Amino acid sequence: MPQSREIAITRFDGQTSGDTRDCVALEEPLEIRLDASDGAERGTRSLSITMRTPGHDHELAAGFLLTEGLLHHAHEIGSITHDGDHVVTVHLADHARVAWPTMERHFYATSSCGVCGKSSLDALEVPGLQRIARDGFSCRVQTVPLLSDQLRARQSVFDQTGGLHAAALFDGDGEFVDIREDVGRHNAVDKLLGAQFLQGRPPLADRLLFLSGRASFELVQKALTAGIPMIAAVGAPSSLAVELAQRFDLTLLGFVRGARFNVYSGAWRLREA
Q: Is the link from the previous residue into 203 a cis peptide, with omega within 30 of 0?
A: yes
DSSP-derived 3-state class of residue 177: strand
How far is 163 from 24, CA to CA, in rounded Å?
7
Nearest partner of 52 among 198, 188, 163, 194, judged by Cα:
188
How far is 140 from 105, CA to CA, in rounded Å?
39
State the CB neighbour count (10 A cutoff) for residue 215.
28
Q: Residue 96: what are its φ and ψ, rounded to 5°?
A: -80, 145
State the CB neighbour count (10 A cutoff) for residue 83.
11
Looking at 23, 113, 116, 139, which residue is catalytic?
Answer: 113
How far is 162 from 256, CA to CA, in rounded Å?
19
Helix 57-67 vs helix 217-225: angle between axes, to the nearest 10 degrees? 90
How far is 100 from 231, CA to CA, in rounded Å?
32
Cα torsion angle, 125, 172, 141, 143, sign: negative
How far is 82 from 84, CA to CA, in rounded Å?
6
How far is 185 from 215, CA to CA, in rounded Å?
9
Q: Residue 227: what are its φ and ψ, rounded to 5°?
A: 75, 25
Asked if 116 is an active-site residue, the reply is: no
How far is 106 from 203, CA to CA, in rounded Å?
23
Catalytic residues: 113
